[in-house]
Amino acid sequence: MTIDRLRGRINDADSHEMIPACMWAEQFGPTAAAFAPMFEHVPEDAPNTLSIKMEADDTPITEESVWTIKSSRAPGTVDPARRLEVMDFIGIDRQLVFPSGPGLVGAFIAASPPDVIEAQFGVDTSAMDLGATWRALLTAHNDWAMRFGSIDSRRLRAVAVVVGDTLDELMREAERVLAGGAGGIMLASSVPPAGLSPADPALDPFWRLVASSGAPLVLHIGGEFGFMRSTAWSKADVFTPLDAASIETPLDPYTLSTVHMSAQNFLTTMVLGGVFERHPDLHLGIIELGAAWAGSTGQIMDIWHHQFRKRSSNLSMKPSEYLSRNVRFTPFHHEPVDVYIERYGMPELYMFSTDFPHLEGGRTPITAFASSLDRLGDDVIEQFFVTNAELLLGARS
Amino acid sequence: MNLDSIRGRINDLDSHEMTPRPNWLEVFGGTAEADAMLTMMLDRFPSMDPQSVQDPLASSVRGDHTPVTPENVLIRGVRAPGSYLPERRLQVLDHLGIGTQLVFPNGVGLVAMMMSCSSPETIRWIMSGGDADLSFDPAVVAPSLARINNDWAIRFAAHDPRLRPVGVVCTNDLATATAEARRLIEGGIKVVVIPSAVPPGDLSPGDPALDGFWRLFADAGIAVVLHVGGEFDFARRNEWIRHPNFAFNIPQDVQEVSLDAYSLSTVHLGPQNFLSAMILGGLFERVPELRFGVIELGGHWIGPTAENLDVWAHQFRRKIDLPMPPSEYVKRNIRVTAFHFEPVDVYIERYGMQDVFCFSSDYPHLEGGQTPIESFAAKLERLGPDVVEKFFVTNAEWLLNGTAAPVVV
């Protein structure tokens, strides 16, 4: 199979800013800058590191630099014009751009209990106003996202992170960032929005706001912290994470095997609670959380919805049909997405992503996915690399 | 399908005692300490009512004397024959063609499980709808209730080797859990259940520091199982369930799980997490004789979970040194029950788990259905008699560690 015909048309549902910590003061402001020193101990050759001492985004754009540098040193990590050049080089048309820095730190603090925050960042939370801190970090990230996307709002879709204790707070920040051109709204999947079940009709104004904007709602890895009550599960020597600077997720086999649970829980409340029935134009992306669970989750929701059909009569379709219509997933490059499609059908669920410039994205994701999908034919390849992501990327011009 | 070939040899990995509330003191009591604890629970939680609307006629039930007839074994709830008397449960097994049966708690033991993993807010919500007096320490009460259940289980087990009552081990405190496990083993209990939402002794389940605890069971040939009812507060927040479609929308024997589509679609997350930590932590490599079961938590997730663990174990192969893929430990060490309406035949075809899935009736609970043997057999028939034999008989023997002699019906 030739992938030349995809060149220039590929949609990438996951990439990241990777502004080095030394530039946080100028790019994100003083609250973010206060967290920058936590990366100083990380070696510059560690994967996903933000500890690079650099003054400009000036690494030449080459095959090697684009795919093998997995840190702030990669080209296009800071400068949106250079990100567009990187996209042209790879053959990508449109791209979601997620945080690596203050946006993730803010989501982490918003979602985690104080002891976990102290363990992660080495700070004394008793002296901090945690609510003010995560709000300042997320505001800084969201301001950056609006600036970054403004250079080409069709191709660069920088995603804002929205967390709020009340519906009013959610609405105000979502209205602000959508008006400012944010390419999507990311929620922390471990946090009930405004303290409510995502299924609760009281959240309908928020879902309606996002749906009517045409921007996607997204759950991305990094929003799961604090989902489980205990943090003991990962505390074993064999689960010691790789020495990576990104706080997106600990890179260890246990965490990555279970990281989808928070999103699975969130998605289940939305589907079975009738959110997509009430908001058929709401589009949800589940990004960098794997896809091994997508098809089987649709099927088990179908089974239980059928068992409770007399009590859940507010759904006009099977739960899996809402997945087909409203939800998209990005598998990791090493997942057998061809097997998932064969087993569960629903080829429309899966989207291509580079995770540029993070380590987990791999070095040859286009060829890895294409060779996995080749046996399923050109239509499936077109869906995977181009069409399916248009649910999340297609509405904004 | 003709079931004659398996009749009398079926192994049933899930059933329950379902003692009517008025009989709790006589069945579970007998010591001053137990009587006082039971009286306190019955007084504090008047709505903790195993009878409930699973069976509208049940509120007046005392005792276990419904005749064992073809019609009556279809009754679900405390009015079912053999709800708690062992000699009558054996008659029910004979009638259904079941050889050996695990008998989980419904009342006292299930409350112990729930309290071991729940916050006071959750306990109030489950036990009373939110306004109960919780002027006691659940961390103290949970192991006490477990001991009361376990005293009953030891007595129940003595009746006949075909009945395998399950002991409850609250794992919050490892020393207490170890002492209770030793007592259960010495008392002849063959299977113990632990809560999946609790990291045992606040340790990851695969932590080598727990190897001694797991080896206790492995060396004795005792199976450890996770059963629905031990998942409460696995997630830190409780808001997820607050929607009219969800929370406890079938009044029921309250402690096990909320019977709603959301809860039952996600109830496996705690056990899935527990197993992932055990397997990737290398526990089954270090303790290969450990017999582990996951009961009444659905069957849909075990295949995808095993494959997902294979993927990540391969990605981190230089870090976790396991000689087999995680899915092989699943097939060797773990047994799982599916709900009677799940397409277990499809699961076996997709994931190659024909040695993992086992039959269960959940008798006399509602979720078990009325004709689970026929329902499962109809699905599995197309996979051939070997798969049927494994599902109904052979696979469960790993957990039962030898079964009673076949019953001639």
On average, the pLDDT of chain B sits at 91
Q: Which residue has the higher pLDDT, A297 or B254?
A: A297
pLDDT in the model for residue B23: 94
What pLDDT, on the 0 to 100 scale, is given for residue B254? 45
What mean pLDDT is predicted for residues A87-113? 96
Half-sphere exposure of A34 (CA within 13 A, CB side): 11
What does the pLDDT read at residue B121?
Answer: 84
Does the distance separating the beta carbons of A292 and B307 come in below 8 Å? yes
Q: From the centroid of its chain, how far is CA A229?
A: 23
**pLDDT for B53:** 41
Q: Could you tell me how far CA A103 lies from the centroid of its own chain?
A: 11
CB distance A343–B311 less than 8 Å? Answer: no
pLDDT at A45: 86
What is the least distance, in Å, from the CA of A359 to any CA of chain B?
A: 12
pLDDT tens profile B10-42:
999 999 999 998 999 999 999 999 999 999 988
On whether any CB of chain A is under 8 Å from the CB of B312, the answer is yes
Residue B382 pLDDT exceeds 60: yes
- What's the pLDDT score for residue B33? 95
Q: Check residue A28 and give its pLDDT.
A: 97
Q: Measured between CB atoms, which of A235, A258, A304 is closest to B264?
A: A304
Confidence band, pLDDT 50/70/90 cuts, at residue B402: confident
Task: Give me the pLDDT at residue B44, please.
Answer: 83
Closest Cα in chain A to B367: A307
Picking from B199, B265, B313, the nearest residue to A232 by CB comes out as B199
pLDDT tens readout for residues B240-280? 888 877 765 444 444 578 888 999 999 999 999 999 999 99
Best to test chain B binding among A277, A304, A332, A342 (most B CBs inside 10 Å) = A304
Report the pLDDT averaged over residues B335-341: 97
Contact at CB, A311 and B249, closer than 8 angstroms: yes
pTM of the predicted model as reported, rounded to 2 decimal places: 0.93
Rounded Cα gap, residues B249 and A73, in angstroms: 54
Enclosing H/E stretch for B225: strand B223-227
- pLDDT given for residue B192 in this prediction: 97
Work out how many CB contacts closer than 8 A connect A with B. Answer: 172
Portion of chain B with pLDDT greater than 90, in percent:
75
Tell me the β-bridge partners of B291. Answer: B223
Q: How far is Cα A288 from Cα A270, in angstroms, rounded to an integer? A: 19
At residue B408, does pLDDT exceed 70?
Answer: no
Split at pLDDT 50, 70, 90, the class of B352 is: very high
Cβ within 8 Å of residue A236, ≥6 positions away: A254, B203, B204, B206, B207, B208, B277, B281
User: Is the minimum CB–CB distance between B62 and chain A shorter than 8 Å?
Assistant: no
Distance from CA of B250 to the nearest CA of A (A): 9
Which residue is listed with tokens 């567009």? A84
Does the pLDDT of residue B56 top 80, yes or no? no
What number is the average pLDDT over the span B343-364? 96
- Dihedral angle of Cα B109, B113, B119, B122, to the nearest 10 degrees: -70
Tell me whether residues B276 and A258 touch, CB distance under 8 A: yes
Radius of gyration, alpha carbons of chain A: 20
Residue contact B301–A192, C-beta within 8 A? no
Q: pLDDT digit string (tens) for A247-293?
A: 788 889 999 999 999 999 999 999 999 999 999 999 999 999 999 99
Say if B307 is an interface residue toward chain A (CB within 8 Å): yes
* pLDDT tens digits, one per residue of B218-239: 999 999 999 999 999 999 988 8
The answer to whether the Cβ–Cβ distance between B315 and A258 falls below 8 Å is no
- Asked if B262's CB is within 8 angstroms of A199's CB, the reply is yes
Sign for the CA dihedral angle at B397, B400, B401, B407 comes to: negative
Q: How far apart are CA A63 and CA A387, in angstroms?
A: 26
Taking contacts as CB-CB distances below 8 angstroms, the residues of chain A near B264 are 304, 307
Instruction: Say what the pLDDT of residue B134 is.
Output: 80
Contacts of A336 in chain B (CB under 8 A): 311
In Å, what is the CA distance from A115 to each residue of A37, A45, A120, A195, B378? 20, 29, 9, 21, 52
Q: Is the pLDDT of residue B108 over 50?
A: yes
Nearest CB to A197; choose among B242, B269, B273: B242
The side-by-side arrangement of strands in the sheet containing B10-12 is: B10-12, B98-103, B163-168, B191-193, B223-227, B291-295, B334-337, B357-358
B202, B261, B316: residue with CB nearest A308? B261
Helices (H), B79-210: 86-96, 108-117, 120-128, 138-157, 174-186
**Alpha-carbon radius of gyration of chain B:** 20
Inter-chain contact B245–A239, Cβ cutoff 8 Å? no
Q: Which of A257, A268, A301 sits opposite B308 (nearest CB)?
A: A257
Q: What distance in Å separates the CA atoms of residue A285 and residue A20, rounded to the nearest whole number? A: 27
Question: Considering only CB atoms, which chain B residues are within 8 Å of A239?
Answer: 204, 277, 280-281
Average pLDDT over residues B72-92: 95
Q: How far apart are CA A294 and CA A301, in angstroms?
A: 11
Q: What is the mean pLDDT of residues A347-356?
A: 97
Helical H segments across A77-179, by residue range? 80-90, 102-111, 114-121, 130-149, 167-179
Distance from A270 to chain B by nearest Cα, in Å?
Answer: 10
- Please give the pLDDT value at position B104: 96
A52 has pLDDT over 50: yes
Please list every residue in chain B whose beta carbon sits closer than 8 Å to the beta carbon of residue A355: none
pLDDT, residue B58, reads 58
Q: Quick one: pLDDT at residue B255?
A: 59
Query: For chain A, what is the mean pLDDT?
Result: 94
What's the average model confidence in pLDDT over B286-295? 97
B196 vs chain A: nearest CA distance in angstroms? 11
CA distance B276 to chain A (A): 7
How far is residue A75's CA from residue B81's CA, in Å, rounded to a whole number?
A: 73
